Chain A
Amino acid sequence: KQEVTQIPAALSVPEGENLVLNCSFTDSAIYNLQWFRQDPGKGLTSLLLIQSSQREQTSGRLNASLDKSSGRSTLYIAASQPGDSATYLCAVGADKLIFGTGTRLQVFP
């Protein structure tokens, strides 16, 4: 059974810092890995999709890497801003997604 773990559960940093959020999964036979952002009381916004044949994806200040052999993904956020404050979720799967419990990020001015 696939299990997804995210560390840390919460993170509070000053504006401008570079951040690394971690995601680990138990079954390396994944089809893809997707990172999402969720603001309080809202739905999920897709940030990055890494397909099984890929090792990383980049979008603006975000970079996500995937190491299937070790069952890990990292989301790197460069030059964090207060607007980045949200919960970040990673999910793995194909027909259905298995989610971690998220990392709650607060970036203060």
Chain B
Amino acid sequence: DTGVSQDPRHKITKRGQNVTFRCDPISEHNRLYWYRQTLGQGPEFLTYFQNEAQLEKSRLLSDRFSAERPKGSFSTLEIQRTEQGDSAMYLCASSFLGGETEAFFGQGTRLTVV
């Protein structure tokens, strides 16, 4: 297993366009998390799944954001009608069961909205 994989690594899009990011977690991990990180800040929690169920969404996740994990394996994060304020690094992490277990992060997707 090569760890958490995210695709694409970089995305430049025009304001108003839709974008979709993919995350492949570590295969035996049943929890998957999405975070957003802006320059000079720590990552901020967006949402997480246990298997295919989305268990929590942050207030940061506006109606333009949607995340899915249809078969409890990979996940997608879609942003509709992108705004310049959406420019950030989007990070995915996975863990086994959650609680007192270690979270492993992917390399992130850098989104630039122009």
Contact = CB atoms under 8 A, between A and B. Distances in A.
B33 A96 contact: yes
A46 B107 contact: no
Most chain A CB within a 10 A radius of its CB, from B4, B42, B45, B110: B42
B102 A4 contact: no
B43 A44 contact: yes
A43 B56 contact: no
Place the interface of chain B in its size category: 20 to 34
Contacts of A44: 43, 91, 93, 105
Interface string B78-91: 00000000000001
Given A41-B110, A43-B107, A96-B33, A102 B99 contact: no
A95 B105 contact: no
B107 A49 contact: no
Contacts of A41: 110
Is chain A's binding surface mostly helix, strand, loop or mixed?
strand
A56 to B, nearest CB: 15
8 contacts: A45-B105, A46-B104, A49-B102, A89-B42, A89-B43, A94-B98, A94-B100, A95-B99
Q: Which 9 A-B pairs have the closest CB atoms?
A: A99-B42, A44-B105, A43-B107, A96-B45, A49-B102, A51-B100, A43-B108, A43-B105, A32-B100
Interface of A: 4, 31-32, 34, 36, 41-46, 49, 51-52, 89, 91, 94-102
Interface of B: 4, 6, 31, 33, 35, 40-45, 48, 55-56, 91, 93, 98-108, 110
Given A44-B93, A95-B98, A96-B33, 16 more contacts: A31-B100, A32-B99, A32-B101, A42-B108, A43-B91, A43-B107, A43-B108, A44-B91, A45-B105, A46-B105, A51-B100, A91-B42, A91-B43, A94-B99, A95-B31, A97-B35
